[in-house]
Amino acid sequence: MKKDFLSVLDFTTDEILASFELAKDMKKDRKKYSKALEGETLALIFEKPSLRTRTSFDVGIQQLGGYSLYLSPNEINLGKRESVYDVAKNLERMVQGVMIRTFGHDIVENFARYARIPIINGLTDYSHPCQAMADFLTILEHKGKFEGLKLCYVGDGNNVAHSLMDAGARLGVNVTVACPKGFEPNLIAFQEATEAAKATGAKIEVVHSPEEGVKGADVVYTDVWASMGQEAEAAKRRQIFMPFQVNAELMKHAKDDAIFMHCLPAHRGDEVTDEVIDAPYSVVFDEAENRLHAQKAIMYQLMKK
């Protein structure tokens, strides 16, 4: 039966944990999996620019023995130059998997509905599940466990926040989103995560005080205040979000051994200061590297015959 990865919630807790074990093994011994997806091709559809997603999927499929095919907006332009249905039905006959990085979440959902091959969500305006998988792999590496941990996400209740809530719900990590009023996570996303959290006992909550949110946190996480497509709002958002900047003073409210995370790219001096992102407790580059290993494991799980 075909399986896609459009949301962290598409994987059960056991499947996520198995993915992490696989990723750790791939990280330790790259050559062991050098023929795992030999001869398989992954199409990479990019409607949004990328550094980490492009590099990690491109390098990742090649390290597994497969090939990548980069398709830019000029070649695809989903739903405009050609319908999502037609693109899906064409590609399913030529490649063995598709990664899509786009705007509307409905695009990846429809693509998965139409295509008979695995579809991976490389990012939409609604969610960023591959990022969350890399994030929680990084947390596992640095904390050695999930049970009882608290992650506080500080900033806009965006796609990254949604996927962090999903991952916390599946893995029993308490997730607090600290955001200005009016910038809370999508209500449906919050409800989905809250429902999923019942199985693990994780607490998913939203607060409007960064100090309250960060208090006792094992992990402090932030993201840019204006995501792709919101550039026109950047100046206004900067005024609203400045009290939510992650700086050394805010980090004092977290646990003494807390780590700092950011999905990158970072706007230094806005959502995070240099003294935090460059601090010894910052794991942002471990996190970035783990995009490669986490996504290799996902590709293996979905595409391995």
> Is residue 277 a contact partner of residue 262, using CB atoms and an 8 Å limit?
yes
Give the other-Cβ count within 10 Å of 288's Cβ.
Answer: 19
**Residue numbers annotated as active site:** 101, 128, 131, 223, 263, 291
Pair of tokens at residue 247: 């700086």
> Is residue 8 a contact partner of residue 200, using CB atoms and an 8 Å limit?
no
For 14-20, the CB contacts below 8 A with 24+ separation are 15/301, 16/133, 16/136, 16/167, 16/170, 16/171, 17/171, 18/301, 19/133, 19/294, 19/297, 19/298, 19/301, 20/133, 20/136, 20/137, 20/140, 20/294, 20/297
List C-alpha distances in Å: 30 to 15, 23, 210. Answer: 21, 10, 40
> Is residue 260 a contact partner of residue 282, using CB atoms and an 8 Å limit?
yes
How far is 123 from 125, CA to CA, in rounded Å?
Answer: 7
How many residues does the structure list for the chain? 305
Give the other-Cβ count within 10 Å of 2's Cβ.
Answer: 11
